[in-house]
Amino acid sequence: MEAKAQLARTIEHGSKLREELDRHDTAATGIGRKQLNLEDMRGELARTRELYDAVSKRISEIEIENRRPARISIVQRASSVSIKRARKGMAMAMLLGGLVLAVLFLIRCGNRGARNSG
C-alpha cells in the first residue's frame, strides 16, 4: 500500500512539475516575442536617428548658406531704352534699308540693260 501511495504522490508531483514547465514555456515564449519586438523597435529607432541626422545636417547647411553673402550682387540697375526712341530708330533703319535695296535694284537693272544693248 505504501508503494501505491508513493506512486500516487510521484504522479501528482510529476503533473505539478509538468504544469510548472508549461507555465515557464509560455513565459519563455512571451519573453522571446518581446525580445523580437524590442529588436524591431531598436532597428526602427536606428533608422529614425539616421533620418533625423540627415535632416539636421541639411538644415544646418541651409542655415549656413543663408548667412553667407550672395554670390551675385547688383552693381547697377539696368537702363532701358524708351519705346518712342526705339520706334524712331527702327523707322529710320527701315527707311534707310529700303533706300539701299532700291538703289541696289536700280543698279542691277541698269547693268542688265547695258549688257543687252551691247
Q: Do 101 and 46 belong together in one domain? A: no
Q: Do 89 and 56 belong together in one domain? A: no
Q: Do 56 and 95 belong together in one domain? A: no
Domain annotation covers residue 92: yes
Q: Which long-range contacts (CB under 8 A, 24 or more apart) does 83-92 make?
A: none
State mean pLDDT over 13-27.
92
Q: What is the pLDDT of residues 55-111, one digit of tens each?
A: 999 999 999 888 887 777 777 777 776 777 778 889 999 999 999 999 999 998 887
Domain annotation covers residue 75: no
Domain annotation covers residue 97: yes
Q: Do 62 and 90 belong together in one domain? A: no
Domain annotation covers residue 24: yes
Q: Do 63 and 110 belong together in one domain? A: no
Query: Would you give the distance in Å from CA 79 to the centre of its chain?
Result: 39
Q: Which domain does 93 fall in, by range?
A: 85-118
Supply the pTM of this predicted model. Answer: 0.42
Domain annotation covers residue 108: yes
Domain annotation covers residue 76: no
Number of domains, the chain = 2
